[in-house]
């Protein structure tokens, strides 16, 4: 259904085509330039950083800024913390999300629209509205400054995304195989585990990437519930770097580059899947 | 999707929970639903309840009726946050939509280099907002910032951008437009690709001009995708926190930074901050309702 419009505007004069490519190049440059510029800032010397007028291309590349941040145990710890928080969130979301998404996509039950509305409501929900009560409760449970304090709210706000995308993936799978499995005496749960899960693996993987990026990028909850540097993820640690390395702008740039690297690599490798996952829920409305 | 057969009211629930398939469905949904109810809906209820008390972080305090909301409305920081948030939301979503639609229309065709364009769309989107704030702050910075350098050289600004509240707000809008316009384009492009090409062909045969085709075919058929994209972006911009917090070193006020400061940083204004949190929730809810009821956005995936 998506490819129909592709051929429509392929004819066009040479001038039009040239303008089109100029437009594309400008667009790509504007999108990517800030990252390239900050990367440049991260590999030049301090004196070159402060040069006026600024140099366009790095004159004297150096890894000094990267040595600074990797020599800082706080930075390494923050990277590990981010990985733990985002990884755990992703696993929990995929587990509960795929079960719920299967029921929504395949099974018939009365309160489906209410359930869907409740889940959708979370994506409209301003997270800042619940930080006060959550803070009070987390304090009662004694989980402030533990990974759990970030993982629990992250799961809640990532779940709708996970469920939404998985529902659209599950709906695309052929029904025949599960029906056959059920005819052979499999229960609903068995049909889900043995037939759907393996078939849906690519979709589940895409969802995992999107959930991971969502959790990796989360800032508000981490910044509210994690005040101890031992558990802070990079999103909280890096802005604080600005206070530690007040004038070491190169270190700040290097830290920003290091944190976005894993994401940029994920995005470049899996771009096709990510686009299909992102637009899956939105197009169907 | 087939709809549930209608039954007599009596026995409906028993039939609903009696059927093994349906029972399984509820078991499968329950965990996700419980997590959402306990960690999001219960706290917001508690927040609303607390907003009528002179609460502190440690105890509930005395019932004060709407006093917290009155204090909130007269609080000058809240007012600054409110106006900054409204300006930020309206201006950034407007530009994101217009530029995003232009990009979507332009790349809705087969061409060489699609992969590159897709990557350019996704890279800003995948950035953590706080990291893009750190990066742009480095570029706005008055000693080493390239933007500050160019703007001063051209004579556009005479003072440090990061020290001026108005320029700072403009800068935040610029960063947001940079970061989310591609995403907007992506959503709109997906919507465009569901419009069959023969509709345009037929219109062209009937002699419709490009402008007519845009307003009579593209916009109406794209409306569902536009509404979804606009609603998500509006609500996202309305709760802006991380970008303001990091780019301005905590000085640029938004509604969310107001709540955060009151609830988490100083805690002196806890009850007023909590009232503002409820205010944000209610406003976001009203915005969503406006899109769904007034503009007719579809919320269900069932056809």
Residue A89 belongs to domain with CATH number: 1.10.3720.10
Nearest of A123, A119, A152 to residue A224 by alpha carbon: A152
Residue A3 lies in a domain: no
Q: Does B139 touch chain A (CB under 8 A)?
A: yes
Chain A positions touching B111 (Cβ under 8 A) are: 20, 24
Query: Quick check: helix, strand or coil at residue A110?
Result: coil
Tell me phi and psi for residue A8, to 5 degrees. -55, -50
Q: Note whether A25 and A125 are same-domain residues.
A: no
Using CB atoms, which residue from B139, B186, B246 is nearest to A34? B139
Q: Does B171 touch chain A (CB under 8 A)?
A: no
User: pLDDT, tens digit, for every residue of B87-111?
Assistant: 999 999 999 999 999 999 888 887 8
Q: Note whether A144 and A277 are same-domain residues.
A: yes
Residue A199 lies in a domain: yes
Paired residues of B63 in beta bridges:
B53
The counts of H helices and E strands in chain A are 15, 0
Q: Does B146 touch chain A (CB under 8 A)?
A: yes
Q: Is the pLDDT of residue A173 over 50?
A: yes
Please, which residues have CB within 8 angstroms of residue B121's CB and are 6 or more apart in sequence? A31, A275, B182, B183, B185, B186
Tell me phi and psi for residue B53, to 5 degrees. -120, 155
What ipTM score was computed for the predicted complex, to two decimals? 0.85
Q: Note whether A37 and A146 are same-domain residues.
A: no
Task: Give pLDDT < 70 ranges for chain B.
Answer: 1-16, 299-303
Burial A264-277 (b: 16+ CB within 10 A, else e): bebbeebbebbbbb
Q: Note whether A41 and A147 are same-domain residues.
A: no
pLDDT of A37 reads 87
* Chain position carrying tokens 């897709």: B118
Contact B133, A239 (CB under 8 A): yes
Task: Taking residues A216-232, report their average pLDDT.
Answer: 91
Q: Note whether A46 and A72 are same-domain residues.
A: no
Q: Note whether A56 and A115 are same-domain residues.
A: no
Could you tell me how many CB contacts below 8 A there are between chain A and chain B?
333
First CA to last CA distance, chain A: 15
Query: Quick check: helix, strand or coil at residue B53?
Result: strand
Count of Cβ atoms closer than 10 Å to residue B143 Cβ: 12
Residue A46 lies in a domain: yes
Residue B131: closest C-alpha in chain A: A256
Burial of B39 (0-12, 13-18, 19+ CB in 10 A): buried
pLDDT of A5 reads 40
Residue B194: closest C-alpha in chain A: A2
The crossing angle, in degrees rounded to 10, of helices A73-106 and B20-36 is 150
Q: Does B249 touch chain A (CB under 8 A)?
A: yes
CA distance B138 to A38: 8
Q: Note whether A22 and A111 are same-domain residues.
A: no
Contact A85, A215 (CB under 8 A): yes
Tell me phi and psi for residue A62, to 5 degrees. -145, 150
Q: Which has more pLDDT, A285 or B200?
A: B200
Q: Note whether A40 and A113 are same-domain residues.
A: no
Please, which residues have CB within 8 angstroms of residue B43's CB and are 6 or more apart in sequence? A130, A133, A134, A137
Q: Note whether A123 and A215 are same-domain residues.
A: yes
Q: Does A229 touch chain B (CB under 8 A)?
A: no
CA distance B177 to B94: 9
pLDDT of A232 reads 93
Q: Note whether A229 and A111 are same-domain residues.
A: yes
The CATH code for residues B67-294 is 1.10.3720.10
Asked if the bond preceding A53 is cis, omega within 30° of 0, the reply is yes
Query: Quick check: helix, strand or coil at residue A63?
Result: coil
Tell me phi and psi for residue A57, to 5 degrees. -105, 145
User: pLDDT, tens digit, for every residue of A75-87?
Assistant: 889 999 999 999 9
Residue A215 lies in a domain: yes
pLDDT of B175 reads 94
Using CB atoms, which residue from B124, B200, B288 is nearest to A31? B124
Using CB atoms, which residue from B106, B127, B187 is nearest to A279? B187
User: pLDDT, tens digit, for every residue of A8-35?
Assistant: 444 457 888 888 888 888 888 888 888 8
Q: Which has more pLDDT, B180 or A124?
A: B180
What is the extent of the structural domain holding A259? Answer: 66-284
Count of Cβ atoms closer than 10 Å to residue B60 Cβ: 14
Contact A259, A217 (CB under 8 A): no
pLDDT of B1 reads 41
Q: How many domains does chain A have?
A: 2
Q: Which has more pLDDT, A110 or A1?
A: A110
Domains of chain B, by residue range, sit at: 67-294
Q: Note whether A52 and A85 are same-domain residues.
A: no
Chain B positions touching A6 (Cβ under 8 A) are: 108-110, 193, 197
Q: Note whether A211 and A119 are same-domain residues.
A: yes
CA angle B78, B79, B85 (to 5 degrees): 85
Q: pTM, whole model, 2 decimals?
A: 0.87
Q: Is the pLDDT of residue A244 over 70?
A: no
Q: Does A246 touch chain B (CB under 8 A)?
A: no
């Amino acid at each position: 259904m998506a490819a129909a419009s592709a051929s429509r505007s392929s004819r066009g004069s040479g001038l039009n085509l040239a303008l089109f490519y100029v437009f594309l190049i400008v667009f790509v440059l504007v999108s990517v330039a800030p990252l390239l510029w900050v990367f440049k800032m991260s590999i030049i010397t301090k004196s070159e950083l402060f040069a006026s007028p600024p140099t366009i291309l790095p004159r004297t590349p150096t890894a000094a800024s990267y040595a600074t941040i990797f020599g800082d145990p706080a930075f390494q710890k923050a990277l590990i913390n981010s990985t733990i928080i985002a990884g755990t969130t992703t696993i929990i979301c995929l587990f509960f999300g795929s079960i719920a998404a299967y029921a929504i996509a395949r099974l018939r039950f009365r309160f489906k629209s209410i359930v869907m509305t409740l889940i959708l409501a979370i994506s409209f929900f301003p997270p800042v509205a619940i930080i006060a009560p959550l803070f009070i409760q987390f304090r009662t449970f004694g989980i402030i400054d533990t990974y759990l304090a970030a993982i629990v709210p992250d799961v809640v706000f990532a779940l709708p995304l996970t469920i939404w995308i998985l529902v659209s993936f599950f709906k695309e799978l052929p029904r025949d195989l599960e029906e056959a499995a059920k005819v052979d005496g499999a229960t609903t749960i068995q049909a889900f585990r043995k037939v759907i899960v393996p078939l849906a693996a690519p979709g589940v993987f895409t969802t995992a990437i999107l959930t991971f990026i969502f959790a990796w990028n989360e800032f508000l909850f981490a910044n509210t519930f994690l005040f101890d540097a031992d558990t802070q993820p990079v999103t909280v640690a890096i802005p604080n770097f600005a206070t530690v390395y007040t004038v070491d702008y190169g270190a700040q740039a290097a830290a920003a580059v290091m944190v976005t690297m894993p994401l940029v690599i994920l995005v470049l490798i899996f771009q096709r899947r990510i686009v299909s996952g992102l637009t899956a829920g939105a197009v169907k409305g | 999707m087939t709809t549930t057969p209608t039954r007599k009211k009596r026995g409906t629930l028993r039939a609903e929970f009696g059927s093994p398939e349906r029972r399984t469905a509820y078991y499968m949904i329950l965990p996700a639903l419980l997590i959402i109810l306990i960690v999001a809906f219960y706290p917001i209820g508690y927040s609303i309840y607390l907003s009528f008390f002179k609460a502190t972080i440690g105890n509930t305090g005395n019932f004060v009726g709407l006093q917290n909301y009155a204090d909130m409305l007269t609080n000058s920081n809240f007012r600054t946050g409110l106006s900054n948030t409204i300006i930020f939301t309206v201006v950034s979503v407007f530009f994101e939509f217009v530029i995003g639609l232009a990009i979507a229309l332009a790349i809705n065709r087969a061409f060489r280099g699609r992969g590159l364009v897709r990557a350019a769309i996704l890279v800003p989107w995948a950035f953590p907002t706080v990291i893009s704030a750190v990066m742009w702050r480095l570029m706005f910075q008055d000693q080493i910032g390239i933007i500050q350098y160019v703007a001063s050289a051209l004579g556009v600004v005479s003072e440090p951008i990061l020290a001026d509240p108005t320029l700072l707000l403009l800068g935040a809008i610029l960063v947001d437009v940079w970061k989310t316009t591609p995403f907007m384009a992506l959503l709109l492009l997906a919507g465009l690709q569901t419009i069959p090409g023969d509709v345009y062909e037929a219109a062209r045969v009937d002699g419709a001009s490009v402008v007519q085709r845009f307003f009579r075919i593209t916009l109406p058929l794209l409306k569902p995708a536009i509404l979804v994209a606009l609603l998500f972006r509006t609500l996202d911009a309305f709760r802006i926190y991380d970008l303001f917090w990091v780019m301005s070193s905590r000085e640029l006020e938004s509604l969310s930074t107001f709540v955060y400061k009151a609830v988490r940083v100083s805690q002196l204004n806890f009850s007023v901050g909590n009232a503002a949190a409820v205010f944000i929730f209610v406003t976001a809810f009203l915005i969503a309702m406006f899109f769904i009821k007034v503009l007719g956005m579809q919320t269900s995936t069932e056809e």
